[in-house]
Structure 1
Amino acid sequence: MQKTLIFFGLLASLVLTEQAHGAELKSSPSECWKAWSRCTPGTSWGTGWLWQSCQDRCNCQQAETGKCESVPNTCPEVFEGSTIQQCHCYGTHGLPYNPINGEGVFTVNTFLCGPQARGRVRLSSKDPTSKLIIDPAYLDNDLDVAVLTESCRLCHEIIMKGRGTKDIIVGA
């Protein structure tokens, strides 16, 4: 069973890599093919994730428009180069796309570049076209939970006590 999973994992990696490179070759400069988007329904966490253009991703999120922007690469262990392309969606139907009365908004994200937890990918049946059972095992490792907890605490401290935000952020 383990050999089957390893082989299937390698095959899936090759297929995704081929699809990604094919998409990058066909895309125009205004499209961002490195954006993942869950626009299709799925029964498990990993099913339904597809490579899409930035505009397709924003349409899926019901945003009016989107563009691919170059941003600093803060995780060189995952992505190569000093910058990466990131899809930004914009619209007028709600935050964060359109701040209220000209006020500013910002988003703080925390994530693990090197999680200790290891998930599992299993076959759901002998049928090779059936959906996979994907268990990412997020937060199964105590160290991962501790690191994320500390990251959230640090973000909160920076927002509430930071020189640029301590007098204008209320609550939380």
Structure 2
Amino acid sequence: MLLLLIFKQDVKDRMVWVWAFPLLAVALAWLNYREQHIYDFRQLAVNLIFLFVQLGLVSLYFSIKNKTWTNITSELLGWGDILFLCALAFYLPVVNFIVFYLSSLLLILLYWVLRKPNNRHIPLAGLQALLFALLLCSGWLVPALNLQQTDWILKLMA
């Protein structure tokens, strides 16, 4: 329900209530603990390190490109987008976090280019919340699609 609230608010209002992200992080951490019967803080740390290194590299890229320091949160990426990804870090295993992050960016970019909206700002957190909600529900319905499982990558590599 919280994911759908984030989707609705981001798409409709281009802003999300700030308390939604800490609530989502707590809910996802609890869900992770409930499903795994243990909480792995190393997983959270690696996810957050990956995210912040990537955001730092994007900021560095735009700073070099613009020949001046570029704060990516001022025009390119909203704080809600970053906080949403931080909340997901509490639930997803590292491999699934990276795969979701990259594939959701590609899918949303493709959708946005094909849609050709008047507004050039992408409601990234909202669209990622919708994708994550769909994946989460499909994992409950079809156990092979469980977002907590990482053995799919081993099967893919074999």
Higher relative contact order (CA 8 A, sep 6+): 2
- Name the TM-score, length of structure 2 as normaliser: 0.28
Higher strand share goes to which structure? 1
Larger radius of gyration: 1
- Name the TM-score, length of structure 1 as normaliser: 0.26
